[in-house]
Amino acid sequence: MRKITFLIFLFLTQQSFSQDFSLIVKAEKKLNEKDYVKALRLLNRAEKVDYGFCGNAKMDAFDKIYELKMKLFKETKDLKGLQKFLNNIQFEFDEGYSKERILLALNFYTKEELKRLLIESIQNSARRNLESDFGIVNFKLSSKYRIKLYFLDYNVLTIMRNEKITYNEAVIKIFQKSVYWEMLN
């Protein structure tokens, strides 16, 4: 009896928490066919799917969704859509999306303007993210254009401790040695 109960439980949980990537697969197919409207609609639906209790499945799904959305906005040259998408990402796993934000900003600003605005923004808005190892800087480059960049917070804390400087001063040092800064040289 226990085995039967266990098998029924296993079957029901498998049905309840399926890791269904079918919308993502369909969206990728539509994107490859250049049917951007349907692809975006499918990707938006895929973001609402319950990918189960496994965090890896959810991360894998969102990583693929984000990759396809970025490709879609780039192919359609929808800079406003790309900006909105990049600033509303829920999960970030590396510096890739922040690099894309810099590349996007270069459509609106010169490298020198962007460097100046980045430093001013860091001085005014760098903040610690106490929920993870990432710090966040929200750059308000103009009334209409904002970007958000992530960096590893423990690097900042190490510099603060070693050089006895403020959090924002340490963030500036990190950025001036970062891949983001290199993109502006």
User: Is this prediction's pTM over 0.85?
Assistant: no
Which pLDDT belongs to residue 104?
85
Task: Report the SS3 class of residue 185.
Answer: coil
Range of weakest confidence among 28-37, 44-53, 162-171: 44-53
Q: What is the mean pLDDT of residues 66-90?
A: 85
Q: Where are the beta strands (DSSP E) in 34-133?
A: 126-127
- Domain map of the chain by residue range? 1-77, 95-185
pLDDT in tens, 123-133: 876 666 555 55
Contact 155/149 with Cβ under 8 angstroms? no
Long-range contacts of 91-94 (CB under 8 A, 24+ apart): 91/58, 91/59, 91/62, 91/63, 91/66, 92/134, 92/150, 93/59, 93/63
- Higher-scoring residue by pLDDT: 54, 44: 44
